[in-house]
Amino acid sequence: MKRAVTIAPVSYPLTAPFRISRGVKTAADVVVVTVSDGDHVGRGESVPYARYGETSDSVIAQLAPAARALEDGALDGAALALLTAGAARNALDCALWDLRAKREATSVAALTGLIVPPSLITAVTVSLDAPEAMAAAARAVADAPLIKVKLSADDPAARLRAVAGAAPLARLIVDPNEGWDFATLKGLQPLLSDLNIALIEQPLPADADAALDGYDPPYPICADESVHVAADLAALRGRYRAVNLKLDKSGGLTEAIALLTQAKALGFTLMTGCMVASSLAIAPALHLAGACDFADLDGPWWIARDHPGGCRVASGRLTAPAPGFWGDGISAQGLWL
């Protein structure tokens, strides 16, 4: 069956700068793929990840051969096989899942057997800034049950104390984005042990996480950049107790489901994460979130204007998109900007 494919870069301005240890962004730059069979349209969105040398232009270039294959009549699997794990494959894979659900008048949840919760607790992010600014940001979301704290190696203790003091009832996910060394991590253990810590996410660079072998602090350390696909999991045992599933790393929902299944079998604590993106990127991730212990899916909360009918985030709770938004057989006409 031949399909028509369109690929387009989209930029969503943010409501405030989003800072992490690697830099700052003021817009979410994404790539949107649409696939049509003439009667139905499937959509997928991904975020090119600069950490892996991805840009909107490079992702669009990677997608071109797979798009041509679909337009020439290739099966879904054959087209996806032309792509490796990453943002390009994620956008196409999610578009194909959406198209299949619409074509078969069913839902991705029914096709996968995964339960999509109507609402769930999501981490809301306090981005890296001066301690006083981070305290103010935390105070504004102090009613959220779970707060993610972006940190660097620059005085993380002061920033952690500022956030914890401003939101004393929230559990904290501490995320240095590979910005610490092992000495910093170990040196912060007394403070971290006194705080209400849910996870420490990817404290060390992925190529330096052998230092975590045998390290057993009283809070789970979660792999993010160290895990992309299911084949990565074996090397993580003994270093991490939790893993973060992100569609842009795994290359789409298909591989993320395999990662979810194997990580669960190996006993890892699971989190579903995201990049800063619209609800079109979050809707597929919700299919993972129902099977995970934590969700960090506040990406749309950061953008100034999301899709009508998309996710809503309030008081640290994420509400699923309206019926027909993504991944089911209800027409999405009228829901898109």
Which member of 148, 246, 249, 264 is catalytic? Answer: 246
Alpha helix locations (H) across 105-211?
108-112, 131-140, 156-166, 182-187, 189-194
Q: What digits encode the pLDDT tens for the residues 67-80?
A: 999 999 999 999 99
**Residue 124: C-alpha distances to residues 121, 139, 197, 300 (Å):** 9, 12, 14, 11
pLDDT in the model for residue 129: 96
Q: How many residues does the chain have?
A: 337
123, amino acid identity: A
Condensed to tens digits (0 to 9), the pLDDT of residues 104-142 reads: 999 999 999 999 999 999 999 999 999 999 999 999 999
- pLDDT reported for residue 104: 96
Q: Is the pTM of this model over 0.85?
A: yes
Q: What is the pLDDT of residue 151?
A: 97
How far is CA 58 from each of CA 4, 31, 61, 67, rounded to the nearest angstrom?
Answer: 21, 10, 5, 14
Spelled out in words, what is the top-level CATH class assigned to the domain 4-105?
alpha beta
Of 150, 186, 249, 264, the active-site residue reads 150
Enter the tokens of residue 251: 């290359």
Q: Over the chain, what is the mean pLDDT?
A: 95
Q: What is the CATH number of domain 119-319?
A: 3.20.20.120
How confident is the prediction along the chain (337 residues), in pLDDT tens digits per residue? 899 999 999 999 999 888 887 788 889 999 999 999 999 999 999 999 999 999 999 999 999 999 999 999 999 999 999 999 999 999 999 999 999 999 999 999 999 999 999 999 999 999 999 999 999 999 999 999 999 999 999 999 999 999 999 999 999 999 999 999 999 999 999 999 999 999 999 999 999 999 999 999 999 999 999 999 999 999 999 999 999 999 999 999 999 999 999 999 999 999 999 999 999 999 999 999 999 999 999 999 999 999 999 999 999 999 999 999 999 986 444 333 3
Query: Which 8-state DSSP code applies to residue 326?
Result: S
Strand order of the β-sheet with 146-150 is 124-126, 146-150, 171-175, 197-201, 221-223, 242-245, 269-272, 294-295
- Alpha-carbon distance of 281 to 273, in angstroms, equals 11
Torsion of CA 258, 259, 264, 267, to 10 degrees: 140
Does the active-site annotation cover 150? yes
pLDDT of residue 332: 43
pLDDT of residue 333: 41
Domain boundary assignment for the chain: 4-105, 119-319
